[in-house]
Amino acid sequence: MTESRRELVNLPSWLRPSIGRASQISRVQKIIKQRGIHTICEEGRCPNRAECYSQGVATFLLMGDICTRSCAFCQVEKGKPPRLLDENEPARVAEAVTLLGLKYVVLTSVARDDLPDGGAFWFVRVMEAIREKNPDTLIEVLTPDFARGKNWQQQQWDSVAKIVNANPACFNHNLETVARLQDKVRRGAKYDRSLRLLAIVKQLNPTIPTKSGLMLGLGETKEEIIATMEDLRRVGCNRLTLGQYLRPSLAHLPVQKYWTVAEFEELKHIAYSLGFEHVSSGPLVRSSYHAGEV
């Protein structure tokens, strides 16, 4: 038996995702494929995509499907993306939102360190297109850190400001893991830079809820998780997601531990005690899982 097959067979019982209705799954995939747009559900092989699709929900991946960073946990293709963005993407995403009847949309993207503002302007353009066709739809953004180059502080501030001025319903940026494991897990990203991004959102507009997420199972300790929660609260982060890391392939980091349902529940209670307003914590929880229910 191959190592990848052995890992699949040995998955704990609580890590078996919902299958979802085939007809609804097919409908969502058809709408997305026909319009040539991407979702992190597919590109990141999210374990919940069947469940979400069966409910008519998808998280849109902007600016292509090639990322300029090579994080050791992520399934999204790495490399050099085309310089020119698809001018029709905003309209096609807006059309898909209409066809799916979405009242709450999550927009994320690959990292685009090749663009002057990291692609912040594109988030705004897609938001405008969605609102033009769907004025009542709320939009959550899940962004990269916008922090590259010698002048990263100013670039990060300016990029975040563009999106904050567009008034998203929630501004999400994931720490992904604890401080000790950042270099190993998030190649090209920094713990303090991510915390700074979340702090900037609150400085610019304290009324916008901020959100972050952690993957568990990469070798972190309970104490480190709690310390990370405390760091997030210090920058005013309101919402938190905690989920189990699942190895996409043998080329990615191996799982060090499968945290139990009971442990996720305990961490959820701790997070609430620290002052988070909403916490989604469970083995199959992901950044945008049931995001609209908040």
Q: Which domains does the chain have, with CATH numbers?
A: 22-293 (3.20.20.70)
Residue 92 is encoded by which pair of tokens? 């096609």
Which strands, in side-by-side order, build the sheet including 239-244? 38-39, 59-62, 104-109, 138-142, 170-172, 210-216, 239-244, 278-281
Residue-level pLDDT at 78: 74
Q: What does each of the 294 residues of the chain score in pLDDT, given as a tens digit?
A: 445 445 555 778 777 655 555 555 566 667 777 667 776 555 445 565 666 655 556 688 899 888 767 665 666 677 788 888 999 999 999 998 998 888 888 999 988 888 989 999 999 999 999 999 999 999 999 999 999 888 999 999 999 999 999 999 999 999 999 999 998 888 778 999 999 999 999 999 999 999 999 999 999 999 999 999 999 999 999 999 999 998 877 777 899 999 999 999 999 999 999 999 999 999 989 877 666 666
Q: Which of 188, 229, 173, 219 is nearest to 69 (CA)?
A: 188
Query: CA-CA distance, 64 to 67, in Å (whole number)?
Result: 8
Query: CA-CA distance, 143 to 8, in Å (whole number)?
Result: 30
pTM of this prediction? Answer: 0.87
Q: Is 281 helix (H, G, I), strand (E, B) or coil?
A: strand
| Bridge partners, 142 (sequence order) | 108, 172
Residue-level pLDDT at 7: 54
